[in-house]
Amino acid sequence: MPACFSTDRMLNFGDCDISGTAYYPSYLNLLNGVIEEFWTWMGYPWHEIIWKERWGTPTVHLTCDFSKPSFFGERLTFELTVTRVGRSSMTIEHIVRCGEQQRWSGHQVLAASRLDEHTSMAWPDPVKAKLESFLAVPA
């Protein structure tokens, strides 16, 4: 299944441990930035939906598998694929590569949430339609 969104991130000095190896909490911080960039790319930047519309997209489930180490100075490509869109949640698969080599992968579930009530909500219709447009069409 092809990625619907791809972006690059450089592994900076602060993203790595003393040996120069990427530190997993930094990976998750980078991933959060990728998710934020994805929503902006979709036309729903977080600063607008959070401050003006008062809803957000918290992560409710996340798993990661780290297959090979990454190192200070490397450029990583984050590939995001939407695999499921429900009434109030979505599932994303992540592949992270350095060149052609896969470094890690992830499975993430985001939920639509009313920020003032701290409750789930249905995706707004235009958002759901946009998310569904990324789903692969069965052959």
pLDDT digits (tens, 9 = 90+) for 24-57: 999 999 999 999 999 999 999 999 999 999 999 9
Separation CA 124–CA 27 (nearest Å) = 30
Whether 117 has a pLDDT exceeding 80, the answer reads yes
* Closest among 61, 62, 71 to 103, alpha carbons compared: 71
- Both tokens of residue 9? 């991130």
Domain ranges of the chain: 5-132
For the chain, the straight-line distance linking the first and the last C-alpha, in angstroms and rounded, comes to: 12
Q: What is the pTM of this model?
A: 0.92
SS3 24: helix
Residue that is written with structure tokens 């590939």 in the block: 79
Per-residue pLDDT at 138 exceeds 60: no
Return the CATH superfamily for domain 5-132.
Answer: Hotdog Thioesterase (3.10.129.10)
